[in-house]
Amino acid sequence: MKEHKITGLSCGHCALKLQEQIQQLPGGEDTKVQFNSSKILLNEEVDMEAVRSILSTEKVRFEADGKPKGPNWLMIFLYVSVASFIAALASEWYTELPALPIVFYGIATILSGYPTFIKGLRNLTKLKFDINTLMTVALIGAVSIGEWREAALVAILFGINELLESYGMEKARRSMETLLEVAPKEAVLLKDGKPEIISLEALKVDDVVLVKTGQKIPSDGVVVSGKSSVNEAAITGESLPVEKESGEPVFGGSINNEGVLHVKVTKTYNQSALSKILALVQEAQESKTPTELLINRFANYYTPAIMIISALVMLVPPLFLDGAWSEWFYQGLAVLIVGCPCALILSSPIAILSGITVNARNGILIKGGAYLEQLSKIEVMVFDKTGTLTLGEPHVVADSSFHPDFYKVAFAIEKSSSHPLAKAVIKRCKELGVAEIEVDEIKTVSGQGITAAIDGVTYRLGNEKIIGETDADEESAKIIKQYKQEGNTIVLVAKDREILGIFAIADEIRKESTNIIRDLHKNGINKTVMLTGDHPLVAEKVAKKTGVSAFFGGLLPEDKVKKVKELKAKQKVAMIGDGINDAPALATADLGIAMGKGTDSAIETADIVLMQDHLGKLPDAVEVSRKVNTVIKWNIGLSLGLKLFALLLTIPGWLTLWIAILSDMGATILVTLISLTVLLHNRNK
């Protein structure tokens, strides 16, 4: 399947109709016409000229064919139509020639309504009923009973209405296209030390590229030389630059702010995080939400129902209630126009597209409109602890020194170790400015810690087993007990059997976690739950500091799945984890949310991916989803409400053709404008 960009596609029903027609062509069975992104997917075997011919019936063309030369005739015809309508009104007032106003009204009707006539007449011959068919029947009927003014006004208003529909959808599309333009266009390859500009497709793993100030990094890689700050907003949504130097990983699509970087490519562009993100965002545009699918099914029955109601309005009063045929025929034509489903069909896609776009700008990758809608309904958020609410990096939360040599001995023993607990001790010693001393001999004792010889003296570092359970004095034992009750891991330093000091080490809680939990509760999340494999005491400590509603410790992966199932049985549940260890629980929840700074596993595992390495944007994603859901409900209510109001006017016989078209036009304008307010979300913050 090959993707082609198309232009002129302004109607969801039109897209579906074009797709069905192209699918009838040899080799066109798998054709997809994507309304939201204005693209068409075609097999290479299909006859392109036949496809062009079908697209032209709806004034749609391939973007690669170029834009039509000359002025926008549809816009010009609308201007002329308005002028003709005004001239017709003036001729009614200031002349006594009955034919002259009809001529002007006729010009206005034909110029503004000819696209509708052509499509509607073609549909009538095939007994297909859509908005063009309804409008064509209504206009022909109006002219047949001499309502020239009404016919002209309806044709003009319908033309304006279609322009507004097109504008609203194009506005949302352009916003998405602007987002997708972050992809770099080319790379500067260093070949034998000389720069050479190549296409992204030609870039290979292990190539070294040159990235100057202001340029985009072409693909994921590692800095091999140079130092700079890099803007990773395209990937993570974070506006603050990140410092990069030799050995640091970088993302394709991020921008080098200063200096010159030499980057060794670790992934071809098609395999890079940015490429996957953009591909998933584009796919997300076309996925239908349950609400959209319901609206589409409803529209299939809605139009025939309107045809039946129109016929009843035309026939029942004259036949059974002594109504005038001409009056009720006119009312029936107005009902046909009220039956236009455009506003109803537009209720959802513009809002969904806007919501996906806003979240993608924030570094929140939502893999489809269905997941955006699901997020708005979540009642319980379940969090993994390590790496999610905490940094996943041990740090010293407290220490007690009983001897002047405590810190320098600890530093000397741990400085050569890569163990996470050792890193925490080293960091603490560096903060205190501890001087380095040399170790003569070092030995690891499995399950206990390390023994080392410094200046001929034996020192021990590790857990309580390293010194023996009975060797701690009363004061040390009291502090050890206190640290352990607080949920900390203990690291002792001893000179032979004499305790020199104690480190209390714990996983560091993310600074933003408390505020995030609070904001989620404010945004309508009823309950927040933390699940962890750590000791319940550790879980309790983190739960108290972060403010989660409930916590469960000492869980195996299968236990986490069980807990998620229990919660899911009562309420809608989202699970937030790192996308790797929590994969079973993520898959079990109604919605899986992964955080992972653009890692492949995070992108592939969950329904929603937070591209940052923190939860900072999660409340914003919930807020956007709820706004989109509210907008869609308002849109459906307004579009149906205005139509119902117009239909009720048929009871006293007050419905006119221009009121009918204004009810549809008003609904379309409101639906479009309300949906586009989602794009303003970031600007209002």
Q: What is the CATH number of the domain that holds 438?
A: 3.40.1110.10
> Which strands sit side by side in the sheet containing 32-34, from one edge to the other?
32-34, 39-42, 2-7, 61-62
What is the pLDDT at residue 472? 62
Cα–Cα dist 355/632, whole Å = 11
pLDDT tens sequence across 165-201: 666 666 666 666 666 666 788 889 998 888 899 988 8
Residue whose entry in the numeric block shows the structure tokens 């509210």: 630
Domain boundary among 475, 509, 543: 509
Residues 352 and 447 in one domain: no
Mean pLDDT score, 315-336 = 85
Higher pLDDT, 561 or 167: 561
Q: Is the pLDDT of residue 269 over 90?
A: no
Which alpha helices (DSSP H) does 204-339 contain, by range? 233-236, 273-286, 290-320, 325-338
Cα–Cα dist 46/72, whole Å = 31
- Count helices and strands in the chain by DSSP H and E runs: 23, 26
Residues 395 and 482 in one domain: yes
Number of folded domains in the chain? Answer: 5
For the chain, helix, strand, coil in percent to 5 are 50, 20, 30
Residues 499 and 574 in one domain: no
What is the pLDDT at residue 286? 59
Q: How many other C-beta atoms can be found within 10 angstroms of the C-beta atom of residue 304?
A: 11
- Termini Cα distance of the chain: 41
Q: Is the pLDDT of residue 209 over 70?
A: yes
Residues 459 and 597 in one domain: no
Angle at Cα 511 formed by Cα 234 and Cα 545, nearest 5°? 140
Residue 90 inside a domain? The answer is: no
Q: What is the CATH number of the domain that holds 526?
A: 3.40.50.1000
Structural domain of 466: 391-509
What is the pLDDT at residue 177? 65
What is the pLDDT at residue 428? 93
Q: What is the mean pLDDT of the chain?
A: 82
Q: Of 109-113, 291-295, 360-364, 421-425, where does mean pLDDT reach its minimum? A: 291-295
Mean pLDDT score, 647-656 = 79
Residue 484 inside a domain? The answer is: yes
Higher pLDDT, 222 or 71: 222
The CA–CA distances, whole Å, from 406 to 302, 314, 425, 475, 532 equal 81, 98, 11, 16, 33
Mean pLDDT score, 570-589 = 82
Q: Is the pLDDT of residue 470 over 60?
A: no
DSSP, residue by residue, 355-401? HHHHHHHTTEEE--HHHHHHHHT--EEEEEIIIIIEEEEEEEEEEEE
Q: Please answer whether residues 608 and 591 qualify as being in contact, where contact means their C-beta atoms are separated by less than 8 angstroms.
A: yes
What is the pLDDT at residue 411? 93
What is the pLDDT at residue 375? 93
What is the pLDDT at residue 178? 66
pLDDT tens sequence across 331-357: 888 887 777 776 777 778 888 888 888
Residues 671 and 544 in one domain: no
Q: What is the CATH number of the domain that holds 253?
A: 2.70.150.10
Cα–Cα dist 618/528, whole Å = 13
To 10 degrees, the CA torsion angle through 479, 480, 484, 489?
Answer: 120
Sign, CA torsion 242/248/250/255: positive
DSSP, residue by residue, 276-307? HHHHHHHHHHHPPPHHHHHHHHHHHHHHHHHH
Nearest of 72, 51, 54, 58 to residue 11 by alpha carbon? 58
Nearest of 204, 331, 361 to residue 683 by alpha carbon? 361
What is the pLDDT at residue 401? 92
Cα–Cα dist 31/444, whole Å = 65
Nearest of 306, 299, 339 to residue 663 by alpha carbon? 339
Q: Which of 470-474, 596-600, 607-611 has the highest mean pLDDT?
A: 607-611
Higher pLDDT, 345 or 309: 309
Q: Please answer whether residues 383 and 576 qualify as being in contact, where contact means their C-beta atoms are separated by less than 8 angstroms.
A: yes
Sign, CA torsion 386/389/391/397: negative
Contact residues for 616 (Cβ-Cβ < 8 A; gap 6+): 512, 516
Residue 304 in tokens: 């025939």
Residues 486 and 456 in one domain: yes
pLDDT tens sequence across 540-557: 888 998 999 999 988 877
Mean pLDDT score, 219-237 = 84
Residues 34 and 126 in one domain: no
> If DSSP codes are grouped into helix, strand and coil, which group holds residue 240?
coil
Q: What is the CATH number of the domain that holds 29?
A: 3.30.70.100
Q: Please answer whether residues 531 and 633 qualify as being in contact, where contact means their C-beta atoms are separated by less than 8 angstroms.
A: no
Residue 368 inside a domain? The answer is: no
Confidence band of 587 (pLDDT split at 50, 70, 90) = confident
Q: Please answer whether residues 461 and 493 qualify as being in contact, where contact means their C-beta atoms are separated by less than 8 angstroms.
A: yes
Residue 396 inside a domain? The answer is: yes
Residues 157 and 204 in one domain: no
Cα–Cα dist 97/340, whole Å = 35
Contact residues for 47 (Cβ-Cβ < 8 A; gap 6+): 25, 26, 27
Give the largest Cα separation in the chain, rounded: 123
Q: Please answer whether residues 624 and 376 qualify as being in contact, where contact means their C-beta atoms are separated by less than 8 angstroms.
A: no
Residue whose entry in the numeric block shows the structure tokens 């149906």: 640
Residue 405 inside a domain? The answer is: yes
Residues 448 and 597 in one domain: no
Of all residues in the chain, the percent with pLDDT exceeding 90 is: 18
Q: Residue 149 belongs to what H/E stretch?
A: helix 148-180
**Active-site option among 384, 582, 613, 664:** 384
Residue 239 inside a domain? The answer is: yes
Residue 408 inside a domain? The answer is: yes
Residues 132 and 175 in one domain: yes
Q: Is the pLDDT of residue 374 over 70?
A: yes
Q: Of 315-319, 340-344, 401-405, 644-648, where does mean pLDDT reach its minimum? A: 340-344
Q: Has 559 been annotated as catalytic?
A: no
Residues 284 and 304 in one domain: yes
What is the pLDDT at residue 601? 64
DSSP structure class, residue 217 = P
Domain boundary among 561, 594, 619: 619
Residue 101 in tokens: 């106003």
List beta partners, residue 244.
228
Q: How many CA atoms within 13 Å lie on the side-chain side of 394?
A: 21
Mean pLDDT score, 350-378 = 86
Residue 91 inside a domain? The answer is: no
pLDDT tens sequence across 471-530: 567 888 889 888 888 878 889 999 877 889 999 988 888 888 999 999 999 988 999 999
Domain boundary among 37, 65, 93: 65
Residues 499 and 595 in one domain: no
The CA–CA distances, whole Å, from 540 to 378, 530, 661 equal 25, 10, 62
